[in-house]
Amino acid sequence: MTKFSDLNLDPKVLKAISEAGYDTPTPIQAEAIPPALEGRDVLGIAQTGTGKTASFTLPMITMLRKGRARARMPRSLVLAPTRELAAQVAENFDIYAKHTKLTKALLIGGVSFKEQDLLIDKGVDVLIATPGRLLDHFERGKLILTDVKVMVVDEADRMLDMGFIPDIEKIFQLTPFTRQTLFFSATMAPEIERITNTFLSNPARVEVARQSTTSETITQGLVQFKPSRRDRATAFKEKREMLRALIEREGDGCRNAIIFCNRKMDVDVVAKSLIKHGYDAAPIHGDLEQSQRTKTLDQFRDGTLKFLVASDVAARGLDIPNVSHVFNFDVPSHAEDYVHRIGRTGRAGRKGTTLMLAVPADDKLLAAIEDLVKLEIPRIEAPGISAPQGGRSKDEERPEPEKRERRSRRRTKPEPAKANAPAQAPVAAQAETAVAEAEEAPIPDAVLPAARKTETPQRGRKGRARDTGPKQVGLGDHVPDFLLRSFSERSTT
């Protein structure tokens, strides 16, 4: 069996590995480290949780032990898709490089530019960054990438999902052609393969597991149920109740868990619901402040937080070794995300359990997942809950008379406003009276047609009849005296 001491690593690195409690490399580490130390490009493909971070961190520290960084010109570059993954790489670097004099800088969003500029100005051997923040520093003239000797792209398939591929291509073009590239991914989409063919030179391909496979240490289960009503609010409520019932059924075996949702807004709602029902839970997603995300992750790692409700920002690359359960509150929209989500449990040979909730609308997504992992996810019986699924509907919670009244209001549609609506009845009666009086008055024949005409009601901006007081018929409800006077005779004075 291969040991770290057989991999030609620097003695100071081996000392740090030993102090960290490791002796035997994982398969991806045993196969990726030797070609990396030879200076070859490496294309590493392995499922999440297999130790990819150390497979590029260890040889990178060994290769950089000689030399010195210059201001604004890092000697190596590590690109990660999320802030959390970048911070984790930085933590691994601190562990394995503690007996060396190598320096590092972490460039991620949510941190002051000024603090990061100070680190870059001093010169760093290892620069760990997310693509967006790295390009921000470069475009501000604070960073020069012409001295990069080793470039690492971690979780490349996640870069593709998050739309970072154009940024990655631009960064590749800013670095020297002679750089060494270490490229790691859990899956190999066609777009990822195109990039490797373009920017990697005769790479050593290291594949320790079939692409998109799940670990054998993970017990999987799927709960399918049909909501009592079709509207999303009812289904969402019933799923929350089903989630709590699943947690209760797992009992003491559920030491801690990550609960994944597809949407950020659902992460917040599920976390609040769990807290309301007495569970120790907290949300984490991309819209939260970096300080809050870091604090939440630290609490989950040290065991002070039991349930972490997360979006896919926490699905990739995070090394939280003692997660006992993963709950998929939503079926992932992308089949590859299922592999990464459940890979948060069952790590480093430990046993793990993952359970997923699904409704009939998720059938196509389920089929895509099972086709990808080449496995039919075992169906398990839905747990019983104290109340009917989703509880009572809004109508059922109301008293019977009020319920009938609400239904009656829904069935009865209001009639559109008309000029002669019932509300206008008194005015219409006045108009009819005025017409009758006008007909009885001795009106000359010359003006009779005008008196018979009815004025058109005035209408507002939206075409509705506007109440302008009693309606006037013809010239009004009386005839002025001057119209009754005869003008045929000339006055003689």
Mean pLDDT of all residues in 468-488: 60
Q: What is the pLDDT of residue 76?
A: 96
| Residue 290: pLDDT band with limits 50, 70, 90 | confident
Q: What is the pLDDT of residue 272?
A: 96
Q: What is the pLDDT of residue 471?
A: 52
**Buried/exposed 203-228: b ≥16 CB within 10 Å, e otherwise:** bbbbebeebbbbbeebebebbbbebe
Q: Distance between CA atoms of 448 and 308, rounded to whole angstroms? A: 86
**Least confidently predicted of 86-95, 177-186, 422-431:** 422-431
| 125 vs 400: which has the higher pLDDT | 125
165-174 vs 190-199: helix crossing angle, rounded to 10:
0
Query: Which amino acid appears at position 33 of this protein?
Result: I
Mean pLDDT of all residues in 446-451: 44
Beta strands, E only, 214-254: 218-224
What is the token pair recorded at 118? Answer: 């100070």
Q: Distance between CA atoms of 323 and 343, rounded to whole angstroms? A: 10
Note if the pTM is more than 0.85.
Answer: no
**CATH says 218-386 is which class?**
alpha beta
| Residue 446: pLDDT band with limits 50, 70, 90 | very low
| Residue 326: pLDDT band with limits 50, 70, 90 | very high
If phi > 0 it is left, if psi is from -120 to 50 it is alpha, else beta; for residue 143 that is beta
Numbered ranges of CATH 3.40.50.300 in the chain = 4-207, 218-386
Mean pLDDT of all residues in 270-296: 91
Rounded to 10 degrees, what is the CA torsion of 409, 415, 420, 421?
10
Nearest one of 16, 8, 57 to 37, comparing CA atoms: 8
Helix (H) or strand (E) holding 106: strand 104-107
Long-range interactions of 57-60: CB distance < 8 A, separation 24+: 57/89, 57/92, 57/93, 57/96, 58/4, 58/7, 58/9, 58/13, 58/17, 58/29, 58/33, 58/96, 59/9, 59/32, 59/33, 59/182, 60/36, 60/126, 60/150, 60/152, 60/182
Instruction: Indicate whether 478 pLDDT > 90.
Output: no
* Domain at 4-207, CATH from 3.90.1150.10, 3.90.700.10, 3.30.230.70, 3.40.50.300: 3.40.50.300
Q: Do 181 and 149 contact (CB within 8 A), yes or no?
A: no
